[in-house]
Structure 1
């Protein structure tokens, strides 16, 4: 190259590098925005194939963390083997190949999920459908930071600052999707907009590639002297550990909130957004909060998590939610602060990201895949909180032996209490006050001993063990499946047995009379299903209008309470998503509704959207009882779903929809989908009267739909039933569902 050519190239380089502080952050922001927008968008596509299980998000997190690891490994290899200019050319080629898979869609061969191995099936579905573009986007962040470090710009000394721009994009995607994008934009339009954003990102990356290529700089390993020795195993292990703990915590705290508080819509957004916000707060020259101050807050955050288990605090759900989230934010901030403090020189930037992404994958696998198959409750949450304490600096001051001696009293007592819960020890009725006093004393002692890590750790383990004791509800059986934690419990008097899924009761049975004797004979439905309630009246009206109900389909099994509304000669079929619920309901030692009332009923396992459509039968009555949970299966309330129901409904058949829900008002969506399908809709909201102390009846909201009002018999004339007007609401479809609108309607009692 001639001297003049070198001068011209250097001049071009100086002109282009001036724009690096604009191009690189914008490209990083957009790549992260696309990366995290594809997650809820594709999960929305998957729901009609599998159902509305909250665990879908946990498995999705495992895939995303694993794909990040693959992307970071690819970026690390490029930066080690090629110059910045050549690595940019190769990456542009990968982005071009990934573009051939657009628009985003579900891969062929994943039409229906299997009965077993759902986690592996979901991981395969994500990999086959969005694996290539996701890996390409995941690799973009470390590559751009590496190219920026090699660009010759004056600010290359700390390319980690660009990490904040990346996480800001992730945060923006997560916060805007459920509150702006999903309520206003159809899924088809979302996919199209995502593709446009992807091609815009390719242009930005091409611009960044030109900048680094014209800079005429060698690879960063040659331009930046690395004064440190090759990373030791201990150093890499700490990077992995400090990344794994908060990555596992974000899944665990979401599960804990869903089980112990409420699986309300959008709650999954908050922990993940806070998780990303900690990167924005820490990966910068001046952290939002000094790391030493964050470390001093860790004991208080641990105590806050323990306090959330107090029976005295349970009525204050909003306060408990804030305590969980604030504690999680502090703990994640502490781990990521330690991670940033231990960061290597820019020459080892991609290696650092490789190990941290490996840690993120390990944390996600532990909390999302291993823990649900290991524990029958959300035990991974306190375990990971304790892991934070062990990972903090100074935890083992004085050596492991000293730590074990000081923490062993608390650990031994904690092990004894865990053994009690393992053998389902029944707490006495008067144990509430002693348990609360023990928690308060322990919390106070922990705060006094917060500067002694070993003693604090032992007391924390003991407090978490005590917190798992529930003196208000006596445990009978607890089970955990892909679809959540199921608990069979009894009230302190032992008269009523309930099936709990998180905080939602899915049925109850009176098992003892007031004098303590066992209830004999045919059990009577309780809660929403009581005789004379809206559900019972709707079933009776459909039966009277048609003369008889030859075949009935019920979507959602619960305890099987609906079976006691069956009459002789009627063939009832229950469509249940969770095999564990079917096992519990079918066990007469737990609940007797099916054994006493539904000896000839069938249970079909799988998502009802698929199994009901595959049924060869036509039904006189279809009961949809899948919306009382706090996180509803939206795909069962869309026009496509109702088209499937109607294709299996007899000419004068009736659809009964149970819409009682703590967080959403489903009157509008149900009326709108009914009107869109040409159905008449009547609804009733009933609060039981003469409600005694031992009355287990609960408020019930029901909508009935039919092709003709005559098919409902005298139901419209009965007290409390009103014809529903969709009020210009748009019917939900697989392409569009405004869940936020339903939440707002519930808030304002509409």
Structure 2
């Protein structure tokens, strides 16, 4: 009888184990999918209340990392209970309460954003609106893994492979949103699908709880007995886990800020670093890692050196090569850090505590890079700081090669520092040499740090110090010739650059110029009188021609609204007797444009300048209807556009504020997005005609740039001679192209059109 019963019992156990594996994997996967798809979904819902800024993404990351810690701590607390049923019932009740708050929506009690303190306001908005459902989701990964351990499954002693499943779900959620979900579904439909997914998740977690409840208690007891001899992790090891999690988490936000500030603020770039970050978690927690940890540790110093070289060279050389370099190096550094976490992970009984340490480190890194650094530094200082700290993520070295040589390292480094800092006869010569050869010097120092690690196996503190020297050299001798100052706010980092001999003052965001003013003539004499608008705002450009056409059509002083201040250039496009009102979301931008040491447009042309501060979608909507002859929308921060200012609903607001024969001018010059058809579409949806201007001035050396402009109005007569000009093309909506609304937009489509057109 025994021999006949054993195969049946084995078959039953095998079926049960297979079912446990499938259900738990599916639950963790769906939970992660929901966890990370909610970020772009809800952030997009917030956009009509706050401009599209990389900082919105950073603050969202801080919120999610903080709630992740709270969820992990809650899971850790539940799993301290010996009873197997209480955690299941408690968590299911939490999920049921959370689903009652769905579909997702912005809390009615949350008013308009303030004129300052955007980060704290945004954090509060996230907490009140989606805090509970996200908190419940955040607890699922460690909680389900801990339940899995108690099922007695053969893989229970090492359940960390389920963490890979979680991160695969997160990875797919991020990639699928811009590629599939956003182009196909409206925001309302996305919300409903997400809510349905939440309901499915509750069913899957209930099934996980049922499988845990039905699992033979003896199996779980035997597993706990096997692990009873496993020593608890020391507090030093826990601190190491926190540090190893904090550095790549902070680097994630720092590299995102860097590539969207100092390289190119192109849309979708914010998703790429996070996708790579999640991919590293998938790879390091595989049962058989595809990329061995030893390889990653060997490549990590080279990655650090690579970023040092990239920072020294700057972002203007080759856009895609620079972006690819930063992302590849970030990936290798994160792989090394997360690989160390995977290598030092504890026994399954300490699983939840391990995840609490990881999430705490992630929160610390996110807080530093996402909130502390932007308010502390006027430039993206968090990137080099975290890069240097990445050197300390390497494991401790037991012995160095050639110790007779490396023991002199600190003395040599101190001598170099003294030579660079303390004034002396050679200081001038050294400074001149470094200014001329800054890229080579900083690059060589960075590469030297990598060689110290790979060839001499030196301790991590020496690598750290060498990297610091290289980064200090880059900061002391920046790539931007004549940089005057950097100005940082919640909405980004702007640079005010003085060109050779002080001829031009230039306002830059990353590699994009947002305004410039000529201060000296070609013969070196100072420019006097009323400043001439240049860059995109020259009188012969699209914006200048549109202003002239509407002015001639009216034959009287204009009443104009301008969304976006920039360097204040358009204040000098106004003529005596005209009323021009400006709307700007960033107070620091107003302060910069109003400071005569940077730009004097406002001082000379609008000394009583008093712009309306706040998101123009909200502030401009409060203006009286039917009063403006011309509305100029020029609010794009670098190449990252505030989508909510380019939708059918936004155009409806502009139209309502127009005088009977008024026109809307939208500046759509963009290196990464083709937006002309978007504006034509939203104008047509509001029964407006559109004319498109695309012309290269051929005068870039004079800071007069080509512009892409769309003018929309009710009738041909409203835009005067512009309608008959051969420089303007009346354009119909593109057949089959869906109109952008607050409920739908397709950034990827705009990127594709720009690539297709080869511009």
TM over 0.5: yes
Task: Tell me the residue number matched to 1:3.
Answer: none
In the alignment, does 2:409 pair up with 1:406? yes
Task: Tell me the residue number matched to 2:504.
Answer: 496
In the alignment, does 2:757 pair up with 1:749? yes
**For the Cα contact (< 8 Å) 2:442–2:471, is it kept in 1?**
no
Give the alignment of 1:430-445 within 5 angstroms.
Answer: 433-445=436-448
**For the Cα contact (< 8 Å) 2:693–2:708, is it kept in 1?**
yes
Q: CA-atom RMSD, angstroms?
A: 2.6
Range moving further from structure 2, 565-574 or 509-518: 509-518
- Structure 1 residue 627, shift from structure 2 partner: 3.2
Question: Residues 657-692 of structure 1: CA distance to partner in whole angstroms, max 9, x if unpaired?
Answer: 111011001111000001000001001111114x37
Match of 2:260 among 228, 253, 258: 258
Range moving further from structure 2, 387-396 or 209-218: 387-396
Task: Tell me the residue number matched to 2:151.
Answer: 151
The 3 A distance-change label for structure 1 pair 655 and 448 is: same
Task: Tell me the residue number matched to 1:137.
Answer: 137
Give the alignment of 1:24-423 within 5 angstroms.
Answer: 24-217=24-217, 222-311=224-313, 314-394=316-396, 406-407=409-410, 410=413
- Structure 1 residue 460, shift from structure 2 partner: 1.5
CA distance in 2, matches of 1:205, 1:138: 13
In the alignment, does 2:589 pair up with 1:581? yes
- Structure 1 residue 375, shift from structure 2 partner: 1.1
**For the Cα contact (< 8 Å) 1:141–1:166, is it kept in 2?**
yes
Give the 3-state SS of the residue equivalent to 1:153 in structure 2: coil
Match of 2:458 among 452, 462, 465: 452
- Structure 1 residue 217, shift from structure 2 partner: 2.5
- Structure 1 residue 14, shift from structure 2 partner: 7.2
Give the 3-state SS of the residue equivalent to 1:629 in structure 2: coil
CA distance in 2, matches of 1:241, 1:193: 37
- Structure 1 residue 566, shift from structure 2 partner: 0.1
Task: Tell me the residue number matched to 2:677.
Answer: 668
Match of 2:569 among 561, 573, 589: 561
The 3 A distance-change label for structure 1 pair 627 and 470 is: same
**For the Cα contact (< 8 Å) 1:29–1:168, is it kept in 2?**
yes
Question: Residues 616-665 of structure 1: CA distance to partner in whole angstroms, max 9, x if unpaired?
Answer: 37211100012362110010001111111122111111111111011001
- Structure 1 residue 446, shift from structure 2 partner: 3.2
CA distance in 1, matches of 2:321, 2:469: 24
Match of 1:649 among 658, 667, 671: 658
CA distance in 2, matches of 1:496, 1:396: 56
Task: Tell me the residue number matched to 1:717.
Answer: 724
Task: Tell me the residue number matched to 1:726.
Answer: 733
CA distance in 1, matches of 2:258, 2:422: 21
The 3 A distance-change label for structure 1 pair 572 and 624 is: same
The 3 A distance-change label for structure 1 pair 273 and 706 is: same
Task: Tell me the residue number matched to 1:485.
Answer: 493
| TM-score, structure 1 as length reference | 0.93
- Structure 1 residue 352, shift from structure 2 partner: 0.6
**For the Cα contact (< 8 Å) 1:246–1:335, is it kept in 2?**
yes
* Number of aligned residue pairs: 733
Question: Residues 129-178 of structure 1: CA distance to partner in whole angstroms, max 9, x if unpaired?
Answer: 11111111111111111111111111112111100000000000000101
- Structure 1 residue 298, shift from structure 2 partner: 1.0
Task: Tell me the residue number matched to 2:3.
Answer: none
Range moving further from structure 2, 147-156 or 446-455: 446-455
Task: Tell me the residue number matched to 2:5.
Answer: none
The 3 A distance-change label for structure 1 pair 692 and 723 is: closer
**For the Cα contact (< 8 Å) 2:312–2:478, is it kept in 1?**
no
Task: Tell me the residue number matched to 2:708.
Answer: 701
Give the alignment of 1:544-693 within 5 angstroms.
Answer: 544-616=552-624, 618-627=627-636, 629-689=638-698, 691=699, 693=701
CA distance in 2, matches of 1:312, 1:190: 39
- Structure 1 residue 284, shift from structure 2 partner: 2.1
The 3 A distance-change label for structure 1 pair 200 and 506 is: same
CA distance in 1, matches of 2:387, 2:418: 17
CA distance in 2, matches of 1:551, 1:17: 74
- Structure 1 residue 474, shift from structure 2 partner: 1.0
- Structure 1 residue 455, shift from structure 2 partner: 4.1
The 3 A distance-change label for structure 1 pair 67 and 519 is: same
**For the Cα contact (< 8 Å) 1:49–1:111, is it kept in 2?**
no
The 3 A distance-change label for structure 1 pair 702 and 392 is: same
CA distance in 1, matches of 2:580, 2:50: 23
- Structure 1 residue 430, shift from structure 2 partner: 9.2
**For the Cα contact (< 8 Å) 1:52–1:634, is it kept in 2?**
yes
Task: Tell me the residue number matched to 2:4.
Answer: none
Give the 3-state SS of the residue equivalent to 2:249 in structure 1: helix
Structure 2 segments unaligned to the other structure (5+ residues): 1-7
The 3 A distance-change label for structure 1 pair 418 and 540 is: farther
Give the 3-state SS of the residue equivalent to 1:308 in structure 2: helix
Give the 3-state SS of the residue equivalent to 1:493 in structure 2: helix
**For the Cα contact (< 8 Å) 2:284–2:342, is it kept in 1?**
yes
Range moving further from structure 2, 308-317 or 589-598: 308-317
The 3 A distance-change label for structure 1 pair 169 and 417 is: farther
Give the 3-state SS of the residue equivalent to 1:488 in structure 2: strand
Give the 3-state SS of the residue equivalent to 1:449 in structure 2: helix
The 3 A distance-change label for structure 1 pair 198 and 526 is: same
Match of 1:465 among 472, 476, 497: 472
**For the Cα contact (< 8 Å) 2:542–2:708, is it kept in 1?**
yes
Match of 1:526 among 510, 521, 534: 534
- Structure 1 residue 223, shift from structure 2 partner: 4.8
Question: Residues 41-68 of structure 1: CA distance to partner in whole angstroms, max 9, x if unpaired?
Answer: 0000001101111100100000000000
Range moving further from structure 2, 108-117 or 319-328: 108-117
